[in-house]
Every structure is written in C-alpha cells, then in structure tokens.
Amino acid sequence: MLDAVLLNMRPHGRISACGMISQYNLEKPEGVHNLMHIIANRIQFNGFLIFDYYHRYYEFVEKIIPDIRQGKIKYVEDKVEGLENGPAALISLFKVTENLHSTKHYPLHARQPQIPPKKKKSRSHFSIIVAGAPNLIAMAAELVPNKKVILKNYITGFVKETDMELITSDTIQLKLPEGSPGLIVKNLYLSCDPYMRSCMSKHDEPNYVPEFVAGSVITGLGVSKVVYSGHTDFSVGDFVWGVIGWEEYSVITNPESFSKIKDTDVPLSYYTGILGVPGLTAYIGFYEICAPKKGEYVFVSAASGAVGQLVGQFAKLMGCYVVGSAGSDEKVDLLKSKFDFDEAFNYKKEPDFNAALKRYFPEGIDIYFENVGGAMLDAVLLNMRPHGRISACGMISQYNLEKPEGVHNLMHIIANRIRFKGFLIFYYHHRYYEFVEKIIPDIKQGKIKYVEDKVEGLENGPAALISLFKGLNVGKKLVVIAHE
Ligand SMILES: NC(=O)c1ccc[n+]([C@@H]2O[C@H](COP(=O)([O-])OP(=O)(O)OC[C@H]3O[C@@H](n4cnc5c(N)ncnc54)[C@H](OP(=O)(O)O)[C@@H]3O)[C@@H](O)[C@H]2O)c1
C-alpha cells in the first residue's frame, strides 16, 4: 500500500508514519520500491511514537469529548467478552478478511483523478529547457561549425556511450534576426549531472525533469559567453550559466532564465559545481532540510561527488562529526585529507553496510545526506538515532534500474521518529544569490575546497556523463569545450 501511495502523493505531501501492520508478522519486511517519489514530490515522511506526546493527552481529551457527545466524531468498537477470548481477539488484528484483502488489488492511481503536472509560472535559473539552434533563421551571416552531442534514442537500463552520438556536420549563424530578444552563446563548460539519465528515458508518468528529444541535442547546465545579444540585460562578452545544449554554440530563447556571472575572479568552471546547482543543493539540503546542530553525527553517501564533498565540509564547519562513503580508496583518502571528514570508507569493500555503519557510528547517525538510495539507505535506517533527519537529495544507485530496489527497513522511521524529507533544488533558486554571497568569501579564504574532474572536448562528453554512474569521476565532473 505504501508503495502505491508513494506513486499518488501530491507535491509537498506529508506521510505520517504511524504504523506498518502488514509487516509486523514478517521475518523480513517487504521492500518499498517507490521512494524516489519522496524526492520528486518533495514529500515529508515523518515517523512518530505516541509515548512522546503523553503530555498532550488532557488537551486531546478536552477537545474530543464534546465532539463525541455531539455526534461529530463517531467510533466503532469490536468487543469480545471474556479473558479466554483475549488471544483470539489480539490475533484478529493481523488477519485480513477476504473482503479487505481484495482492496490490495486496486492500484490507487487507477481510482483517483490524475493531477496534471503543474506548469511552471516563472522561469527560474534552473528551469530545464531545450536549448539548441533553430534552423529556420534565414539571414545572411557567417556560418560557423557547431559540433553537438545528440541522444540517438530513448533508453532503458544502463546508459552507454553508444546511446549518444557526436554530430560534426552542423553549422550555426552567429546572429539572430533584427528585434529578436534572444542570445547566442559560446559554450565553455558543460556540467555532467546524474539527473540527465532520467531525461534519456521516455516517461510513462509525469517526471520532474523533461525528456530529451530523441535524435536532438542533449541539454544540461553549463557556463557560456555571450557572443550575440538581442536582450537589453546582456552584452556581448558577458559570462552566464543556465541550461544549454551539448554543442559549441547555443541559441538562447529565454535569457531571463540565465544567471549572469558577476564574480569572475574564481574559476568560471565553478559555476557548474560549487557556485551552481550542486553548491546550492548542498547548502539547502544540509542547512535547511537536515536542520543540523553542533556535535551531531552526520553521514554522507557519494561523499566525494559534486554535492557530497560540500555537505561534508559544511557539516565540519558546523562542528559535527562527519563520515563519508565513496567507491574507491583514492576517494576515501581525498575525503579525509582534503575535505577534513573525520572518517570515510570504501563501500565497495564492505560486505555488510550495516556492520560498517555500526563501526563508524557506534552511537548512531543523527543526519543522513542521502545521495544513493537502495541498500545503503536500508542500512542507514537501521542506524539512525531518535529524531534523526534524512535529507532525500538523490538515489543514484537506482537511476539505471528498470525497477527500483526494495527498501525494507522503513519501520525504523516510526520507531526512531525520523524525518525523511525530499527536496528539489529547482524550487530554491530565490536563495541562489544569498548562497553565492556566503560561499565566495569561504572559497577565497580557503575555508571551503572544491575538487573538479575535467575532460577536454565535446567528443569526450558521452564518456564523461557515463562515468558518474560507474563512479569513475573524482569530484565534480565537467566537460571543457572552450576555455573562452
Ligand atoms: N534533489 C535535488 O534537487 C538534487 C540536485 C542535484 C543533485 N541531486 C542528486 O544528488 C546526488 C549526488 O549528485 P552529484 O552531482 O554530487 O553526483 P556526482 O558528483 O555526479 O557523483 C555521482 C557519484 O555517485 C556515486 N555512484 C554512482 N553510482 C552509484 C551506485 N550504484 N551506488 C552508489 N553510489 C553510486 C559515484 O561515486 P562512488 O565512487 O562513491 O560510487 C559517483 O561518482 C545524485 O543522486 C543526484 O541525483 C539532487
């Protein structure tokens, strides 16, 4: 039922994890597969134990007794007589009648009206649009070559380099028709981001990221230089970041969704990472969603990636104890030596994640910054401390699977009164400049470090993107198309 409910939750929905009776008699709880919807719909999944609220009992009774008396609240009881019938009465709780059982066979979404996905009202910095050069612009201007990477077809399963293709025959005119308010940008740095995998599949259900167009240029976040402007807010020579095509030049028809880069005395490539979406994700996900306190125990998965390396450093600056997991010894060394994590471990060498977490967190975890999902999430649930928070940022281990793995230990959300909250950074663009103002001094003073993993040349873009899902990147992965 929980799996079906997750498919039907509205944005910002709340799940009150009160009980999971279907699981109480099982030796191993069933797996819940649809947890990625917690992120996509920014759901808050809160466990509670009523023992914590006994002090509210008389307030509740005073409120409900008049309602009972006035018949506003009804209550059905099922009584049996005699102590000798107690065991049967208790057991009856767990015996589902034929009739009730049959409801299991009706998926909720078949009975409820489908809510159409909300249209975006405003264009944020992060609105994901399809960039690319319209072919219909007829004018006399010099044509220049415009190499690009296209998605050949929609995919299922693990993404491969051959799912993409470098096209070298296209050209572009570096001028727009008179009066057109668009821009032409020369693309410098392309960001490789895990969400791009979701754009490569045909979506059967509404998804928070749009599909790429099969046979067309793939799009993603990147840093560019304006080479033609029909928009009063942008001048030739400005540096900007936003959603561009994986191509040498892009025509931008929505310049208002682009951020002008004001601070150019830091590496421009940082606007794909620490000063772009991954940076803001770490900032909001840690400070806002995790609500950390000094001295708490923090665990970060995919800890050496674009987001994770920052979360760990933020947690250290706050005075927390921080442990990260990563997929190679080189990354583990980096976490401890460069990013100041207290401890780190190579999860690929750990046969039992639960045992590993118990070793690093003998007293349990207060905060889990969730980047990977699947088996690691299951093990973390066994190790959370009471009132712990899980920031559901991403579940990369699931992105290439046709059916997500089941997560079995969700009952610990109730037992430990955990808050498991999903978020999407696209909805926090209004916090971007606050974040940049705060982090740039920290970068300049060396308080925050950032590791990038750059490859040169558009032709190496497909391999770079795939490397994320094989854990081959060390730090923020990006493709350099041109230096300026
Ligand atoms: N909620 C949001 O709005 C939002 C915004 C940005 C990013 N995200 C999410 O945040 C997470 C981190 O993003 P990022 O940009 O930091 O990623 P990244 O730098 O691209 O790092 C990805 C890393 O994930 C690890 N990984 C890949 N496959 C894995 C698997 N099967 N099991 C375990 N780990 C695996 C790999 O590191 P190892 O060597 O450690 O395996 C890889 O280097 C992703 O899940 C992403 O989708 C969410």
pLDDT, mean of residues 103-107: 38
Question: Separation of 322 CA from ligand 1 center, angstroms?
Answer: 18
Q: Please write the tens of the pLDDT for every residue from 401-439.
A: 999 999 999 999 999 999 999 999 999 999 999 999 999
Read off the pLDDT band of 204 (50, 70, 90): confident
Tokens 């201007």 belong to: 141
> Does 194 sit in the ligand 1 pocket, CB within 6 Å?
yes
In the three-class reduction of DSSP (H, G, I as helix; E, B as strand; rest coil), residue 62 is classed as: helix
So what's the pLDDT on residue 484? Answer: 72
pLDDT range class, residue 113, cuts 50, 70, 90: very low
CA distances from 52 to 24, 56, 95, 340, 415 (A): 21, 9, 29, 37, 11
- One-letter amino acid at 341 equals F
Atom of ligand 1 nearest to the CA of 472: 43
The angle that helices 353-360 and 374-381 make with each other, rounded to 10 degrees, is: 50
Q: Is 394 in the pocket of ligand 1 (CB under 6 A)?
A: yes
The 10s digit of each residue's pLDDT in 434-450 is 999 999 999 999 999 99
Between β-strands 259-260 and 249-252, what pairing exists: parallel, antiparallel or unpaired?
unpaired
Query: Would you say residue 139 has pLDDT above 50?
Result: no
Average model confidence (pLDDT) for the chain?
A: 91
Q: Which pLDDT score is estimated for 109? A: 41
pLDDT at residue 27 is higher than 80: yes
CA of 328, closest atom in ligand 1: 39
Asked whether 274 lines ligand 1 (CB < 6 A), one says: no
Nearest CA to ligand 1 atom 17: 305
CA of 254 to the centre of ligand 1 (A): 29
Those residues whose C-beta lies under 8 Å from the C-beta of residue 449, and which sit 6 or more positions away, are 309, 313, 338, 339
**Where do you find CATH 3.90.180.10 in the chain?**
143-262+269-273+450-480
Q: What is the mean predicted confidence (pLDDT) over 277-285?
A: 98
Residue 136 has pLDDT above 50, yes or no: no
Ligand 1 contacts CB of residue 191 (under 6 A): no
Q: Is 125 in the pocket of ligand 1 (CB under 6 A)?
A: no
pLDDT at 213: 96
Specify the pairing of strand 44-47 against strand 419-422: antiparallel
143-262+269-273+450-480 CATH: 3.90.180.10
pLDDT of 120 > 60? The answer is: no
- Determine the distance separating the centroid of ligand 1 and the alpha carbon of 308, expressed in angstroms: 8
- Which value, to the nearest 10 degrees, does the dihedral of the CA atoms of residues 439, 442, 444, 448 take? -100
Task: Judge whether residue 183 has pLDDT over 90.
Answer: yes
* Confidence label for 207 from pLDDT (cuts 50, 70 and 90): confident
Instruction: Return the CA Rg of the chain.
Output: 26
Regarding the beta carbon of 284 and ligand 1, being less than 6 Å apart is answered no
**CA 372 / ligand 1 centre spacing (Å):** 6
Full DSSP string of 413-441? HHHTT-EEEE--GGGGGGGHHHHHHHHHH
What is the reported pTM?
A: 0.89
- Over residues 140-156, the pLDDT tens digits come to 567 999 999 999 999 99
372 CB within 6 A, ligand 1: yes
Answer whether residue 134 shows pLDDT above 50: no
Contact 30, 23 (CB under 8 A): yes
Report the 10 Å Cβ neighbour count for 223: 28
- Pick from 371, 465, 470 the residue to mutate for probing ligand 1's pocket: most ligand atoms within 8 Å of its CB: 371
How far apart are the C-alpha atoms of 5 and 7, rounded to whole Å? 5
**pLDDT tens digits along 218-256:** 999 999 999 999 999 999 999 999 999 999 999 999 999
Q: Does domain 1-50+97-109+278-449 have CATH number 3.40.50.720?
A: yes
Confidence class for position 345, pLDDT limits 50, 70, 90: very high
Q: Give the confidence band of 112 by pLDDT, cuts at 50, 70, 90.
A: very low
- CB 281 less than 6 A from any atom of ligand 1: yes
Mean pLDDT, residues 350-375 taken together: 98
**Range list for CATH 3.40.50.720 in the chain:** 1-50+97-109+278-449
Q: Are 258 and 241 in contact (CB under 8 A)?
A: yes
C-alpha dihedral sign at 282, 290, 468, 39: negative
What is the phi/psi pair of residue 406, to 5°?
Answer: -85, 140
